[in-house]
Each structure stands twice: as C-alpha cells, then as structure tokens.
Amino acid sequence: MEIVPRFLPIPERSFFLFGPRGTGKTTWLEHRFPEAVMVNLLQPEVYRAMTARPERLAELVDGAPEQQVVIVDEVQRIPELLNVVHDMIERRPGHRFILTGSSARKLRRGGVDLLAGRAIVRALHPFMAAELAEFRLASALESGLLPLVVAAPNRAEVLRAYASLYLEQEVQAEGWVRSIGSFARFLEAVSFSHANVINISNVARESEVERKTVTGYLEVLEDLLLSYRLPVFTRRAKRKTAAHPKFYLFDAGVYRSLRPGGPLDRPGEIEGAALEGLVAQHLRAWIAYSDSEFDMYYWRTRSGVEVDFVVYGAEGFWALEVKNTSRVRPEDLRGLKSFKADYPESEVLLLYRGSDRLKMGNVSCLPVEGFLRELRPSRELNAGL
C-alpha cells in the first residue's frame, strides 16, 4: 500500500494519537518509525500477554535499549498499561512513547489523567483533499476519505462492513450496550440527523428504545470517535440563539453507508448533508493540524437564520455556508449577511458546487472543490483562492 504523507505534525515528546478505526494510525506510525518497539494490542497473543502482565511492556522496552520510540497501538484495550508507561516516562527521559487509540471511553474514565500531562494529545482524521494526489469531490461525497476505504478496490463493500466492525469488535466485545439489534437500529435512525440538530425523542421512536437509551448510545458513538456535536456560537450575541448542538458523523462515506435511501428520499437532500459533513471533517482536520488554536461552531438564531460553520480563534474568524448547488442565489447569502452584520470582524465565505469565484456584496463565494483542494493547516481558510 502506498503511504500518503499526512499533514499531522509529529510532536517531539510522548503523545496520544486518537482517531477512529481506519484513519491509518498504525500504518502511518510504522512508516514514520520503522525501528520502533511496536506493541499492537489488536493481536490476540499480544493482548493476552499484556493483560496478564502489564509490566511486560517495561521488559520489552528494556530488551531493546537502542530503540528510543515505543508505540502502543489501541492502548484503550488495556488502560492498566498507562501506569507502566507513566513510570517509564519518569525513569527513561530519553524514550518517546506514542499511544494510539480508537476509543476514548475507557481512557476517559481516568486513564489519560494517569500520565498527568506528560503526554500531549493529537488526533488523526480522514484524509484531507490536499493530502491526496488525486481528489474528486463526487467520489469523496459517495465513499468518504477514510484511508481504509480510499485504499480499497471495492469501497462500497468496505464501508458496508465498517459499522459491523464497531458493532462486533468494540461495542459488543466491551458490553457497552445491552442490545446490539437496538444499537444497529439507532445507527440507521441517527444517520438522518447528520448535519442537523438532533431530536433525541424522534431518534428514540425510530430506534424503538427509550430516550435515555439514545442518550447513552450517542455517548458511545462519540467515545468511539465516530460522531461529534457542534455547539452554537454565542460570543457577544446580539440576537437570541438556538440552544442545541448539531450532530455529525465523522466521515461522509460512513454517513452514506448508514443512511438508508428510498423512493421518498430526494438525492439532493442526502448529498447536501454529505457535502456539509465533508466540509466539516476538513475543518476539524485543519484545526487539529494547525499551529494556532481554533474552535468550531455553528450559528443559528431563534428566528431560524443559520450559518453552517463558525471558525473562531486568536488568528482568524470565519463564517462559512455550504450549498449543494451550482448557482448562488441571493437567498443563499441571507445567513452570512446577518452574521456579518452582527460580527463585522468576521470574514464570510459561501462554498458551492459551481466553478467560478464570486464576490457578492461582502460575501466571497468559492467553489467548494477548489476550497478543499487548497485547504492546508496553518494557512488561512481561503488562502490560495
């Protein structure tokens, strides 16, 4: 498999590297550190040995004194190993430990804190368009940008199996939900909420479970890094804003694989949500890989005026609207113009499926495919366009 260079900067000290399954954490680290001591907890024999004796990790490190980098893959499977790592960081200042994880659930229950800030946290996301030699928007909207999927000869088949991977290997193995059937129905039902404010009562009804069960299922999804919720931007709000966050699945292809379609569904509706999610995942990766600190929100007033994304930080302030259309209509600019009126310090961008760069009043209208191709960490969102 060809190794695609990633934008993620590698810290010079020990660090956690989180990311959903299939984002290429293991492959990328093996390529960057071919001589490292590698402990892959997905291998049954390694998992059994480390579960029985976590201190065996220290013995492995002592047995390879010339290797200064130690990688523990899927560390959440045995949180007790963090005690050993913490001790080795204290006693072996020349070593660097890289701990990967595709689930924050166990570690969030106290594991990460065991290192007391001695390892920083980084995240690996699906590919950004600019990381790929060839990027096609239509393909990305259909199958997403998970490295596991991009490298597959049959992308649709891999995507269909992806949810099963989590159901069987993560959720069911750890006993996080009582009924796998109910959780499977929930995954289908919650896909309709992608790029929208989630209505938990509706999802519960469609999933045939109680409301509190759906709340727990959402926590499981977020702990597995498969979804996230985007809060409302409320700084110096001049109007009453919405109170509830928007829900996103982490990859456009995973969304398309979970979202059922039928004769009553408008193709544009499904593709529009996929496009918004694709932009969202790029913005999250851009933030994660950039030198500066940014946060991402959405903006919606009680009267229904909305902007899809607000990116806010000390070095930039942008509002972005995403439209799955090849032509910009005046009504498409309503939310951005309202936001600009309230926040004149912001730069407002509309991303659309056309090919021309336009300036309509104070709104820059950019082709979304070009925007994604040019988006690179530590550069302004509209640099190069």
Tens digit of each residue's pLDDT (9 = 90 or more) over 238-290: 888 888 999 999 999 999 999 987 655 676 789 999 999 999 999 999 999 99
What is the pTM assigned to this prediction? 0.93
Question: What is the distance between the alpha carbons of residues 341 and 14, in angstroms, rounded to a whole number?
Answer: 45
**How sure is the predictor about 204, in pLDDT bands with cuts at 50, 70 and 90?**
very high
Q: Rounded to whole angstroms, what are the CA distances from 108 to 13, 76, 165, 224, 356?
A: 21, 9, 22, 11, 46
CA atoms within 13 A on the CB side of 100: 25
Residue type, 1: M
Partners of 378 in the beta sheet?
none
Q: Are residues 137 and 253 in the same domain?
A: yes
Tens digit of each residue's pLDDT (9 = 90 or more) over 58-68: 999 999 989 99
Stretch 363-385: mean pLDDT, rounded? Answer: 87
Q: Are residues 145 and 100 in the same domain?
A: no
Q: Which two tokens stand for residue 224?
A: 């597995």
Predicted pLDDT of residue 380: 82
The torsion angles phi and psi of 29, rounded to 5 degrees, stand at: -70, -40
The residue whose two tokens read 């960057």 is 32
Q: Which domain holds residue 87?
A: 15-123
- Looking at 123, 157, 184, the residue that finishes a domain is 123
> 26 with 148: CB under 8 angstroms?
no
Tens digit of each residue's pLDDT (9 = 90 or more) over 68-122: 999 999 998 898 898 899 899 888 888 999 999 988 776 766 555 556 667 788 9
Q: Are residues 91 and 164 in the same domain?
A: no
Q: Are residues 138 and 158 in the same domain?
A: yes
Domains in the chain: how many in total? 2
Question: What is the distance between the alpha carbons of residues 317 and 314, in angstroms, rounded to a whole number?
Answer: 8
Strands 306-313 and 316-322, how do they pair? Answer: antiparallel
Return all residues near 137 (Cβ < 8 A) that are at least 6 apart: 353, 368, 369, 372
Residue type, 240: K
Tens digit of each residue's pLDDT (9 = 90 or more) over 10-53: 999 999 999 999 999 999 999 999 999 999 999 999 999 999 99
> 1 with 22: CB under 8 angstroms?
no
The torsion angles phi and psi of 311, rounded to 5 degrees, stand at: -110, 120
Q: Are residues 26 and 90 in the same domain?
A: yes
Predicted pLDDT of residue 113: 55
